[in-house]
Amino acid sequence: MPQLRILTGITPSGTPHLGNYAGAIRPAVEASRQAEVESFYFLSDYHALIKTGSPERVQRSTLEIAATWLAAGLRPEKVWFYRQSDIPEIPELTWLLTCVTGKGLLNRAHAYKAAVDKNVAEGEDADAGVTMGLFMYPLLMAADILMFNAHKVPVGRDQIQHLEMARDIAASFNHRYGEHFVLPEAAVDDAVATLPGLDGRKMSKSYDNTIPLFASPAELKKLIYAIVTDSKAPGEAKQTEGSPLFQLFQAFATPAETATMRTRFAEGIAWGEAKEALYDKLEAVVAPMRARYEDLIAEPQRIEQVLKSGAERLRAKYATPFIARLREAVGLRRLDQLPAASAPVRAKAQNKPQFKQYREADGQFYFKLVDGDGGLLLQSRAFASPREAGQAVAAIRNGDDFAAAATLAGAAQAADVTRAIAALNAE
């Protein structure tokens, strides 16, 4: 596989907003159009369970986010587009990775440490409210990536540490079990816009300052009017630097349009006018996508079909054969494929001829020679003591004529006896 594999996950725990679109969806769809890359985009719904306890929200968000990607132009026949929970090999791989990962590595994860620090600051137990899901999150994410041996993982800055952990985990596994994993790299694109939200901080559902990507035109207008501005009057020159309004405009406009807007800011455009211009720009970009989105969302079964088909093909091509190889590597192996060596050794043991010494009811001592199948070859005469019987056995083994001590038994041939003795001596 000479191709570059690019993979990224989107957690379905909310409604997609403009920041998600400009920061992740748009660049990913553009990158997926390059012929020389194999792209993997998936809905990380197992991750969503860490963030929310609402089943309806996970399901609804999965539908909305899948529809958004398709409406944004992702072509599911050209890229791998799937839902994490449709690939059971991922949780299986998570366990294999768990067993080569030091707990200390996870103790150092930012998200977990932040939760602990907050607890400690509030005088709570350090792990209060911390689920094992939150703690193990970097392991599940490593499995997402390593399952498909992705080379590059486009993520935000907050995810860089997780990529470093994925590399460490991959290296530990490779060290113990052989080179199975590519060490993935984070791809953080500084050219990709980080959008400000309504309050000027980074647009994020955790700040509750988002503009939903597919807000209705009326809602979109209302939200744009709620964006914070300074109190400069119409006619006063306005700063583009640090203006959320300007940054939002820039993220959706052409360079020429942006240059024009910059001039208008310098000339003292009224905030109301700037908001109007932003609304027009956004509506022009979003409207065609919104129409596709609404069609898609009205037919959930079509989206279900797209996701299912993606997962099925992906499992057949990568996940199923790869997990089989990994299971083999760690020793989760079929018993009937044990090297056949031990079986013949045992059979041989059973088939060996043997001298057997014993005492009869008459108080005398005897021996006999039996072949591997238990057939009697030689029968000794009676000896007064076990020692004498033993000496006779030794003599026969040494190639002395056996006639003095024993007689051929039943159907036995002298040649069989010679062969049995040779076999015994060859041990």
Binding site for ligand TRP (CB under 6 A): 7-9, 11, 44, 47, 141, 144-145, 153, 155, 159
User: How many helices and strands, by DSSP H and E, does the chain display?
Assistant: 18, 9
CA distance 65 to 259: 33
Q: CA distances (Å), 14 to each of 48, 111, 290, in order?
A: 9, 19, 17
Backbone angles phi, psi at 81, to 5 degrees: -125, 115
Q: Are strands 152-154 and 185-187 parallel, antiparallel or unpaired?
A: parallel
Q: How far apart are CB 258 and ligand TRP at their closest, in Å?
A: 28
Residue 118 to residue 63: CA distance in whole angstroms: 34
Quickly tell me which residue has 């199948």 as its tokens: 373
Q: Which two tokens stand for residue 38?
A: 């194999």
Residue 215's CB is within 10 A of a number of other CB atoms, namely 20
Q: Which is nearer to ligand TRP, 141 or 277 (CB)?
A: 141
Provide the phi-psi class of 11: left if phi over 0, else alpha when psi is between -120 and 50, else beta. Answer: beta
Taking a C-beta distance cutoff of 8 angstroms, is the pair 421, 394 a contact?
no
Amino acid identity of residue 100, one-letter, is V
Give 194 or 364: the residue with its C-beta nearer to ligand TRP: 194
Cα gap 29→6, rounded to integer Å:
12
> 155 or 261: whose CB is closer to ligand TRP?
155
Residue number with CB closer to ligand TRP (42 or 365): 42
The side-by-side arrangement of strands in the sheet containing 406-408 is 354-359, 365-370, 376-380, 406-408
The minimum distance between CB 101 and ligand TRP, in angstroms, equals 16
The answer to whether the Cα torsion of 45, 48, 50, 52 is positive or negative is negative
Of 159 and 209, CB closest to ligand TRP: 159
Strand blocks (E) in 71-154: 80-83, 152-154
Q: Residue 394: how many CB atoms within 10 A of its CB?
A: 11
- Which residue lies nearer to ligand TRP by CB, 145 or 396? 145
Contact call for residues 109 and 138 (beta carbons, < 8 A): yes
Nearest approach in angstroms of CB 84 to ligand TRP is 7
Q: Would you tell me how many other CB atoms lie within 10 Å of the CB of residue 282?
A: 24
- Is the CB of 84 or the CB of 243 nearer to ligand TRP? 84
Tell me the residue nearest to ligand TRP as measured from the CB: 9
Could you count the other beta carbons within 10 Å of the beta carbon of residue 127?
14
Of the pair 100, 160, the CB lying nearest ligand TRP is at 160
CB of 145 to ligand TRP, least distance (A): 5
Q: How far is the CB of 341 from ligand TRP (least distance, A)?
A: 43
For ligand TRP, give the closer residue by CB, 145 or 170.
145
CB nearer ligand TRP, residue 51 or residue 275: 51
Residue 55 buriedness (CB in 10 A; 0-12 / 13-18 / 19+): exposed
Of 10 and 227, nearer to ligand TRP (C-beta) is 10
Nearest-approach distance from CB 11 to ligand TRP, in angstroms: 5
Least distance (Å) between residue 204 CB and ligand TRP: 11
Round to whole Å and give the CA distance between 309 and 290.
24
Count of CB atoms within 10 A of residue 385's CB?
A: 10
Shortest Å distance, C-beta 142 to ligand TRP = 8
What does the DSSP assignment read for 302-355?
Answer: HHHHHHHHHHHHHIIIIIHHHHHHHHHHHT---GGGS-TTHHHHHHHHHH--EE
Least distance from ligand TRP to the Cβ atom of residue 166, Å: 8
